[in-house]
Amino acid sequence: MYRIALSMLVGDKIKCWGLIFGVTFSALLITQQISIFVGLMSRVSSLILSIPEASVWVMDPRSAYIEEIQPLRDVDLQRVRSVSGVMWAVPFHKSTVSATTQDGQLHQVQVIGIDPLTFLGMNRDIIQGKLEYFCHPLAGILDVNGYQRIWSFSDIKLPKTLTMHHHRLSIQGVCESRPTFFSFPLLYVSYSTIKSMLGNKSYTLSFILVKERVGITPEVLAQRITKETGLQAITQHEFSSKSIQYVLKRTGIPINFAITILLGALVGGAITAQTFYLFFMENLKQFASMKVMGVSNKTLARMALVQAGCVGSIGYGLGVGLTALFLWSQRNAPAFKGFSLHWQVLMISFVMITAMILLSVIVSLKRLFRADPMMVFRGA
């Protein structure tokens, strides 16, 4: 019976490919959009997760996520260092400024000021230049995506010059980096350079990165810092989750992606359901003949599920394959750098596609089960 079911399916090539197209379209749209959504959300906390050594982040109590910064006082760094259980605490500056190139082009740049002794917060994968140049006064290292954006994908030639806060900054190196949510160029400078550019003002300290001593957990240390200093201290994982939750709640990104994914499922489901229904209606006489020969509705349902499983497997495989091909082809593009196809996304897509196909089969089987076997003898 199952061989007959497959023969009936491939016998009508137009409807067979129509079914495969509907499932492929849905699988492609659902998998691609969920992958892009997950990639964007991972970028929200990419800067936090790129510093695995810092298990605790200390900030102003009013700071809600990584991009909402209320500067701390310089004395707060010493207060945090004095808390029992702190192995080390280093300053960390983050701000978005306007930078001007020598030819007068204006660009938005994320400036990351880090401790020049530990280099915490910076990717040490230097493509060109030397890490030692980082410690020079008014010198910095730019990420490769930022260099390509500012100087239009030209070959890397150093040094380059950027003007910020009325200071000329020399770009002495180019490094790899994890893309952030806003995709601005990342410019790494020493914390002393930031203080020099801002005139030693007291609002250069954005966060304090902390590591706990052996024998104490990050959670306990964070609570201790909050209690003794009055500052907000949370673990790296908590800060990452908090930043993602902020974006999910305060922006329209989840709603927009949900609408696109839902439309993909609805359109693909409508195509599949309609094609399945037409397929069953055109083969209704053959199914009725089987019922005359004693084939039960249960067996007919199994035959329909075999047909649906064959179509679903091919369509799902093609949709996921096209998504993987798309992400692979864009792996070096700044807009999609770091995006990947996670197994959780594949499972979500599989469940949605399976539910869509089962719903389509159920709608078609209702008409099939009501079919009168006597239509065979009436010439219907």
- Among 3-7, 117-121, 240-244, the range of highest mean pLDDT: 240-244
Poorest-pLDDT segment among 111-120, 285-294, 329-338, 342-351: 285-294
Amino acid of residue 249: K
Poorest-pLDDT segment among 18-27, 295-304, 308-317: 295-304
Largest pairwise CA distance in the chain: 96
Domain locations in the chain? 2-44+252-378, 73-230
Amino acid of residue 145: N
Strands 139-143 and 167-175: parallel
Pick 164 or 279 by higher pLDDT: 164
pLDDT in tens, 195-245: 888 775 667 899 999 999 998 999 999 999 999 999 999 999 999 999 999
Query: How many Cα atoms occupy the beta-carbon half-sphere of 126 within 13 Å?
Result: 16
Separation between Cα atoms, residue 167 and residue 195, nearest integer Å? 12
Computed over every residue of the chain, the mean pLDDT equals 84
**Whole-prediction pTM:** 0.80
Beta-bridge partner residues of 101: 162
**Residue 137 pLDDT more than 50?**
yes
Mean pLDDT of 112-123: 84
Cβ neighbours of 300 (radius 10 Å): 21
**Residue 153 pLDDT more than 70?**
no
Using DSSP, state whether 373 is helix, strand or coil: coil
pLDDT band of 372, cuts 50, 70, 90 = low
Q: What is the pLDDT of residue 380?
A: 47
Mean pLDDT of 77-94: 93
Q: What is the pLDDT of residue 373?
A: 62
Separation between Cα atoms, residue 20 and residue 275, nearest integer Å? 10
* Residue pointed to by tokens 């995709």: 183
